[in-house]
């Protein structure tokens, strides 16, 4: 059987190939769409609403995620990161790999009690922490070697420099100007 006897055979094969390519492309686009949707459910604040008023007060408004947490994008030492606000954490807690990639040097070793039990931590300092228009400098932090993931716990060593109030599912962070 040659294509000369059955000319529709090559068009049928080409049609099948195009159908498969269209299905693969469709699945790829759906994956990208739903991946973005899932990421927005985890972190609804990838680009948090931020402003500076006429008095120099910097304000950032965050929305809760589906679990009721405040997760937002920000930066430490210029490196983009994801924060989970945690008023129960004494310090900003950073997973070891994230600390390394952000150029943070481990300092004094100590032990801390966490929600997952006692663990070894290393003191460090963040030169600059940014959350929208809010900028904090020289922030105490802890490198936590057994902390998994790519999210930094934004604890009270940073949050004590910011006023915050919650109304409904919105958390407003305010940084007053320093004179």
Going from N- to C-terminal start, the domains of the chain cover 1-42, 49-175
Structure tokens that stand for 14 in this block: 């080409």
142, 158, 148, 4: which is closest to 86 by C-alpha?
158
| Alpha helix positions (H), 43-150 | 96-101
d(CA 76, CA 153): 12
Cα 63 from chain centre: 13
The mean pLDDT of 93-110, rounded to a whole number, is 94
CATH code, residues 49-175: 2.40.70.10
**Which tens digit of pLDDT belongs to each residue from 104-113?**
999 999 998 8
Q: What is the mean pLDDT of residues 92-101?
A: 95
- Reported as a pLDDT band with limits 50, 70 and 90, residue 152 is very high
Instruction: Give the mean pLDDT of the chain.
Output: 85
- Angle, vertex CA 136, rays to CA 91 and CA 84, nearest 5: 50
More confident residue, 111 or 34: 111
pLDDT tens profile 59-68: 999 999 988 9
């Amino acid at each position: 059987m040659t294509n000369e006897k059955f000319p529709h055979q090559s068009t049928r094969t080409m049609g099948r190939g195009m159908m498969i390519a269209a299905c693969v492309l469709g699945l790829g686009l759906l994956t990208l769409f739903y991946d973005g949707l899932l990421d927005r459910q985890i972190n609804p604040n990838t680009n948090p609403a931020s402003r500076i008023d006429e008095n120099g007060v910097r304000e950032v408004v965050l929305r809760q995620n589906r679990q009721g947490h405040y997760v937002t994008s920000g930066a430490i030492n210029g490196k983009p990161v994801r924060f989970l606000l945690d008023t129960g954490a004494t310090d900003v807690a950073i997973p070891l790999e994230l600390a390394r990639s952000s150029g943070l040097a481990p300092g004094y070793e100590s032990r801390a009690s966490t929600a997952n039990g006692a663990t070894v931590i290393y003191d460090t300092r963040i030169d600059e922490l940014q959350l929208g228009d809010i900028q904090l400098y020289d922030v105490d932090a802890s490198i936590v070697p057994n902390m998994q993931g790519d999210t930094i716990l934004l604890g009270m060593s940073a949050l004590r420099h910011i006023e915050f109030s919650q109304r409904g599912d919105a958390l407003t962070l305010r940084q007053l100007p320093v004179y």
